Chains A and B, each alone.
Chain A
Amino acid sequence: METNLIVEGFKFMALGMGTVFLFLITLIVLMNIMSKVLHKFFPEPSAASLEPQTPNQKDNKKIIAAISAAISHHRQG
């Protein structure tokens, strides 16, 4: 009975570490597959991410124009 305890401990360790690694290795494989699949079928809109910047810049120009107009108006007033 006494000698069993340490053996039990090692059994726990083998099963525990085995499961943890099995789980994480499967997860790594799945993560890699997922990123490949997503890149193939749902490509990141890298071109699209550039597009919104142009209206943003336009907006910025509009805002800058509005602010400067307001400032000049304020100074005149």
Chain B
Amino acid sequence: MRFFLIKILALLLFSFGALHASPSEAAKGSTHKEETYQTKPLGEMITGFLASTGLNALINPDPNEKNAHGEDMSDFNKSWGRVIMVLITFLLFYLAIKKGYEPLILLPIAFGGLLANIPVAAIAGEHGFLGVIYNMGLANELFPIIIFMGVGAMTDFGPLLSNPKTALLGGAAQFGIFGTLVGAVALSQMGFVDFTLQQASAISIIGGADGPTSIFIATKLAPELLGAIAVASYSYMAMVPIIQPPIMKALTTDAERRIKMTTLRHVSRLEKLIFPIMVLVLAILVLPAATPLIGAFMFGNFLKESGVVERLNDTLQNALINIVTIFLGLGVGSKLASDQFLVPDTMFIMVLGVIAFSAGTAAGVIMAKIMNLFPGHKINPLIGSAGVSAVPMAARVSNKVGMEYDRTNMLLMHAMGPNVAGVIGSAVAAGVLISLFQ
């Protein structure tokens, strides 16, 4: 034992001497790293290594470990919280792979969440790669904008142009956003939660059923809620075929569901080419705050409709949107760290999100019924539900429900009108919310 102590003492002395010696050696230009490394007995090396394992970090949380923002975390969030979050990401894997819930975005989000909850490595921290991705494109709202370009390139405004009044359905469905906003502030007023007006706005945009818009608004108004809002937004979009039909059926009569709509007129190429510019000019005049989203959207659409830049159009629709989706998913996943996700707020966001979705669906259907009170071509109220964006899922649901009552009633193209108007509508709603907080 004494021999051991002497050995350590000698080691210390040696390293002390080496430290002092190092400047002169550095001057000579012959530094080598070995000097800072202290030889240790094997037993010590093993205990040291065991102390650095993830298992140990989970069982005995390091009191000095900080979260991604450099703040203190509770011991729960460093140990069991992480285990719970890993299990939640497994659940998301299951939903994405087995149930097919928006796997393209949910899988990157879930895997990002898994990586963000690894102890010691701090992957979601400022210098971890998830943190770098987040700061590169999410903190500055770049990625949702690029996604919007791709979505614009994929969108065909033809059905809307051939039946313009269906745009009103896309407007009515935005009631989901503002109805939920009132609900969220009412909840905080009653003392259940403590949402600020910004946070309530960011949550309510889930009702717009538009993933990139939700992420754009959340990063702008309430970045601390981004993880929960994005997960809620994309999971509910995936659950549109489950959430919407009962509401649509409850609000319509059998006769209304069988209404056949007049066939859509042909839309000229020139109309499709002018439309994006027209929307953008209108946005500039009415609501400049919405122009980042609408501008990117219309840029993508304009490239597509111009018909002369097929290569760029193809890149926007495929390569670019795929690359950015990967980064967007991982960046959002970095916000699934236990200390940010395992809070009571998340539960309220999930509940408010589904209310927002349902309210938007109901408002669209009711709007269609109101429009049928006026003279003119009748509208099948089932396409009202497509006013929540969720392109093209919501339109497909309208079509499917319509077919249940009349096999020959093809509503898909009719429903695409309110569907794409819903995208514009939620971008406008987002612009209003942004402009209110500027």
Contact = CB atoms under 8 A, between A and B. Distances in A.
Given A12-B201, A28-B168, A23 B268 contact: no
- Chain B interface size, under 10 / 10 to 19 / 20 to 34 / 35 or more: 35 or more
A22 interface: yes
B186 A35 contact: no
A52 interface: no
Contact of A21 (B160, B171, B266): B171
A9 to B, nearest CB: 4
A2 interface: yes
B357 interface: no
Interface of A is mostly: helix
B287 interface: yes
A12 B429 CA distance: 10
Contacts of B170: 24
Interface stretch (B48-56, B273-281, B314-322, B344-352): B273-281
Contact of B433 (A6, A16, A23): A16
Given A22-B286, A31-B275, A12 B268 contact: no
Given A12-B201, A42-B270, A44-B268, A30 B278 contact: yes
B424 interface: yes
Interface residues of A, number: 30
B175 interface: yes
A62 B189 CA distance: 78
Contact of A5 (B185, B268, B432): B185
Interface in B175-194: 175, 177-179, 181-182, 184-186, 188-189
Contacts of B85: none
A71 interface: no
B178 A26 contact: no
Given A13-B178, A13-B181, A19-B287, A27 B189 contact: no
A36 B184 CA distance: 44
A4 to B, nearest CB: 9
B171 A9 contact: no
A24 B425 contact: yes
A53 B157 CA distance: 27
A66 B171 CA distance: 57
Contact of B175 (A9, A15, A17, A22): A17
A58 to B, nearest CB: 26
Nearest to A46: B266
Interface of A: 2-3, 5-6, 8-10, 12-13, 15-17, 19-28, 30-32, 34-35, 38, 42, 44
12 contacts: A9-B200, A13-B178, A15-B432, A16-B177, A16-B429, A16-B432, A19-B431, A23-B286, A26-B286, A31-B164, A34-B274, A44-B266
The 10 closest A-B pairs by CB, nearest first: A13-B178, A9-B182, A31-B164, A9-B185, A24-B171, A5-B185, A28-B164, A24-B167, A16-B432, A16-B178
